[in-house]
Structure 1
Amino acid sequence: MQLNTNGQKFINIIIGFSRDFPFTVNPGEHSEKTYPSLLELINPDDIPPITEMFTDVSQDEEKRFEAHCRFMVNDEYHWFFLSCKAVYAEYGRPVRFEGTMCDVSTYLETAGDDLVYNEFRKKHNIKLSELKKGAPRLADVLDVDYLTSIQRPFAVPQLYSAIFDEKGKLICAPKTQHKSLSPNDFAYQKKKNIRINHLISGTWILGAKTQELLDDNIQLWETLVQTVSRMANAFVVVLSEMDNSQNANKLLGQNVEEQILLNNIYAIIMQSKSADIALNSVTELIGDYFHLDRITIIDRDDFTQELCWCKDYKYRHLPLEIDGDTALDCASIRDDLSLTSSAFSDTDTNDLTKFGIKSYAIFKLINSGAFDSLIMFQTIEKEHNWTQRERKQLRNISQIISSLMMRKETQDKLEQSQKLMRQLAFYDAIYNIPNRARLNKDLDKIIKRNTKGSLIAFKVTNTRTLSAVYGHTYSDMLLRSIAQYLKDLPVKDIGVYYFTNAIFMLNLPDCTDNEAKNLVEMLIHRFSKPWKFGEDEHSIHCSLGIAFYPENGEDAEELCKAASTAMYRAREFKQNSYAFYSGSLERTRMFAASLEQHIRECINDGMRGFSLRFQPSFSAVDGSIIGCESFVRWHDDQYGNIPNSTLFPMAENLGLSHVIDGWVMERSCEFCKEIQDAGFENFTVSVNLTAGEPQSAEIVTQVRHALEESALPPSSLILEIPVKANIFYSDSTHILHDLRTLGVNIAIDKYGTGNISLKILKNSYVNLVNLPAKLFMNHEDEFDTELVSSVIHLAKCRELTVCVKGIEDKEQLDTVQKFDIDRIQGYYCSRPLSLTEAKTVFTESIRIKGC
Structure 2
Amino acid sequence: MRDITTSKRVGIRISLIYLFISIVWVLASDLLINSYITMTWVNILKGWIFVFINAFLLYKLIQRNFEIVAEKKELYQQLIENSLETNLIHIDGEIVYINQAGVNLLKAYNRKQIIGKSVFDFIPTHEKEKATARIEETKTLGKSRPIIITYKCLNGEEVICESLGFATTYQGKTANHILVRDVTEREKAIGKINYLAFYDELTGLPNRNKLYAYMEKIIGNQMEEGYPFIVMFIDMDRFKIVNDAMGHSSGDKMLKEVANRLSASVDQDALVARFGGDEFVIVIPYMKKEQSPLFAQKIIEMFKQPIHIDQNEVYTTPSIGITCYPDDGDDVDTLIENADTAMYYAKKTGKNKYKVFTQLLRDDLNNHFTLENGLRKALEKNEFILYYQPQLHLETGSVIGVESLIRWNHPKKGLLSPVLFIPVAEENGLIVQIGYWVLDTACRQLTLWHEKGLSNITMGVNISPIQFRHKDFINHLEKILTDNKLDPKYLNLEITESVFMNIDESLFLLKKLKEIGVKISIDDFGTGYSSLSVLKDLPIDYLKIDKSFVDDLYSNEKNIVQPIIDMGNNLNLQLVAEGIECKEQLMILKEKKCHIGQGYYFCKPMDVNVTEAFIKNNLK
Match of 1:290 in 2: 116
Match of 1:89 in 2: none
| CA distance in structure 1 between the aligned counterparts of 2:549 and 2:606, rounded to whole angstroms | 26
Match of 1:797 in 2: 570
Question: How much has 1:522 moved relative to structure 2?
Answer: 7.5
Question: How much has 1:637 moved relative to structure 2?
Answer: 1.9
Change (3 A) 1:462 1:833: farther
Helix, strand or coil at the partner of 1:724: helix
Alignment root-mean-square deviation, CA: 5.4
CA contact (8 A) 2:499 2:506 kept: no
Question: How much has 1:645 moved relative to structure 2?
Answer: 3.5
Match of 1:557 in 2: 333
Match of 2:215 in 1: 443
> Which of residues 540, 545, 548 is equivalent to 1:771?
545
Q: What are the equivalent positions in structure 2 for 1:253-264 lying under 5 Å apart?
A: 261=91
Q: Given residue 830 of structure 1, which amino acid in structure 2 is its aligned partner?
A: C
Question: How much has 1:711 moved relative to structure 2?
Answer: 1.4
> Which of residues 739, 742, 754 is equivalent to 2:513?
739
Helix, strand or coil at the partner of 1:601: helix
Question: How much has 1:817 moved relative to structure 2?
Answer: 2.6
Q: Given residue 661 of structure 1, which amino acid in structure 2 is its aligned partner?
A: G
Q: Given residue 810 of structure 1, which amino acid in structure 2 is its aligned partner?
A: K
Helix, strand or coil at the partner of 2:388: strand
Match of 1:364 in 2: none
Q: What are the equivalent positions in structure 2 for 1:194-213 lying under 5 Å apart?
A: none
Structure 2 residue 440 is the aligned partner of structure 1 residue 666: yes
Q: Given residue 546 of structure 1, which amino acid in structure 2 is its aligned partner?
A: I
Helix, strand or coil at the partner of 1:681: coil
CA contact (8 A) 1:696 1:735 kept: no
TM-score by length of 2: 0.63
| CA distance in structure 2 between the aligned counterparts of 1:532 and 1:805, rounded to whole angstroms | 46
Match of 2:166 in 1: none
Match of 2:377 in 1: 601
Change (3 A) 1:459 1:310: closer
Q: Given residue 436 of structure 2, which amino acid in structure 1 is its aligned partner?
A: G
Q: What are the equivalent positions in structure 2 for 1:383-532 lying under 5 Å apart?
A: 404=181, 406-408=182-184, 410-411=185-186, 414-415=187-188, 418-419=191-192, 422-423=195-196, 426-427=199-200, 429=202, 435-450=207-222, 452-459=228-235, 483=255, 486-487=258-259, 488=261, 491-493=265-267, 499=275, 503-518=279-294
Match of 1:547 in 2: 323
Match of 1:813 in 2: 586
Q: What are the equivalent positions in structure 2 for 1:223-234 lying under 5 Å apart?
A: none
Match of 2:25 in 1: none
CA contact (8 A) 1:722 1:748 kept: yes
| CA distance in structure 2 between the aligned counterparts of 1:533 and 1:598, rounded to whole angstroms | 44
Structure 2 residue 587 is the aligned partner of structure 1 residue 761: no
Greater CA deviation, 659-668 or 715-724? 715-724
Rg larger for: 2
| CA distance in structure 2 between the aligned counterparts of 1:535 and 1:810, rounded to whole angstroms | 59
Q: Given residue 116 of structure 2, which amino acid in structure 1 is its aligned partner?
A: F
Q: Given residue 457 of structure 2, which amino acid in structure 1 is its aligned partner?
A: F
Question: How much has 1:756 moved relative to structure 2?
Answer: 6.5
Helix, strand or coil at the partner of 1:843: helix
CA contact (8 A) 1:723 1:748 kept: yes
Structure 2 residue 482 is the aligned partner of structure 1 residue 708: yes
Helix, strand or coil at the partner of 1:457: strand
Question: How much has 1:631 moved relative to structure 2?
Answer: 1.3
Question: How much has 1:805 moved relative to structure 2?
Answer: 1.1
CA contact (8 A) 2:388 2:405 kept: yes
Question: How much has 1:633 moved relative to structure 2?
Answer: 0.9
Match of 1:721 in 2: 495
| CA distance in structure 1 between the aligned counterparts of 2:513 and 2:74, rounded to whole angstroms | 77
CA contact (8 A) 2:93 2:120 kept: no
Question: How much has 1:575 moved relative to structure 2?
Answer: 6.9
Question: How much has 1:491 moved relative to structure 2?
Answer: 3.3
Question: How much has 1:589 moved relative to structure 2?
Answer: 3.9
| CA distance in structure 2 between the aligned counterparts of 1:531 and 1:251, rounded to whole angstroms | 59
| CA distance in structure 2 between the aligned counterparts of 1:611 and 1:286, rounded to whole angstroms | 94
- Per-residue deviation, residues 428-450 of structure 1 (Å, max 9, x unmatched): 75x99765445434433444443
Change (3 A) 1:617 1:442: farther
Q: Given residue 519 of structure 2, which amino acid in structure 1 is its aligned partner?
A: N
Question: How much has 1:557 moved relative to structure 2?
Answer: 1.9
CA contact (8 A) 1:479 1:502 kept: no
Q: What are the equivalent positions in structure 2 for 1:6-405 lying under 5 Å apart?
A: 247=77, 261=91, 290=116, 404=181
Helix, strand or coil at the partner of 2:495: strand
Question: How much has 1:672 moved relative to structure 2?
Answer: 1.9
Question: How much has 1:506 moved relative to structure 2?
Answer: 4.7
Match of 1:580 in 2: 356
Change (3 A) 1:584 1:788: closer
CA contact (8 A) 1:600 1:654 kept: no
Match of 1:837 in 2: 610
Helix, strand or coil at the partner of 2:525: coil
CA contact (8 A) 1:728 1:763 kept: no
TM-score by length of 1: 0.47
Question: How much has 1:571 moved relative to structure 2?
Answer: 6.1
| CA distance in structure 1 between the aligned counterparts of 2:89 and 2:312, rounded to whole angstroms | 76
Question: How much has 1:685 moved relative to structure 2?
Answer: 1.5
CA contact (8 A) 2:401 2:459 kept: yes
| CA distance in structure 2 between the aligned counterparts of 1:538 and 1:839, rounded to whole angstroms | 55
The answer for unaligned runs of 5 or more in structure 1 is 1-124, 131-242, 253-257, 270-274, 296-307, 312-373, 377-391, 394-398
Change (3 A) 1:245 1:844: farther
Helix, strand or coil at the partner of 1:618: strand
Match of 1:656 in 2: 430
CA contact (8 A) 1:767 1:801 kept: yes
| CA distance in structure 1 between the aligned counterparts of 2:507 and 2:5, rounded to whole angstroms | 77
Structure 2 residue 392 is the aligned partner of structure 1 residue 566: no
| CA distance in structure 1 between the aligned counterparts of 2:602 and 2:209, rounded to whole angstroms | 58
Question: How much has 1:427 moved relative to structure 2?
Answer: 2.4
| CA distance in structure 1 between the aligned counterparts of 2:78 and 2:478, rounded to whole angstroms | 82
Helix, strand or coil at the partner of 1:821: coil
Question: How much has 1:664 moved relative to structure 2?
Answer: 0.4
CA contact (8 A) 1:610 1:635 kept: yes
Change (3 A) 1:287 1:797: same
Helix, strand or coil at the partner of 1:739: helix
> Which of residues 386, 392, 407 is equivalent to 1:633?
407
CA contact (8 A) 2:394 2:586 kept: no
Question: How much has 1:667 moved relative to structure 2?
Answer: 0.5
| CA distance in structure 2 between the aligned counterparts of 1:784 and 1:584, rounded to whole angstroms | 38
> Which of residues 449, 452, 464 is equivalent to 1:675?
449
| CA distance in structure 2 between the aligned counterparts of 1:502 and 1:624, rounded to whole angstroms | 55
Change (3 A) 1:784 1:458: same
| CA distance in structure 2 between the aligned counterparts of 1:704 and 1:620, rounded to whole angstroms | 32
CA contact (8 A) 1:660 1:690 kept: no
CA contact (8 A) 1:692 1:721 kept: no
Change (3 A) 1:407 1:793: same
- Per-residue deviation, residues 768-808 of structure 1 (Å, max 9, x unmatched): 222213325556875644x5433333333333322221223
Helix, strand or coil at the partner of 2:468: coil
Q: Given residue 212 of structure 2, which amino acid in structure 1 is its aligned partner?
A: N
Match of 2:139 in 1: none
Question: How much has 1:547 moved relative to structure 2?
Answer: 1.4
Helix, strand or coil at the partner of 2:455: coil
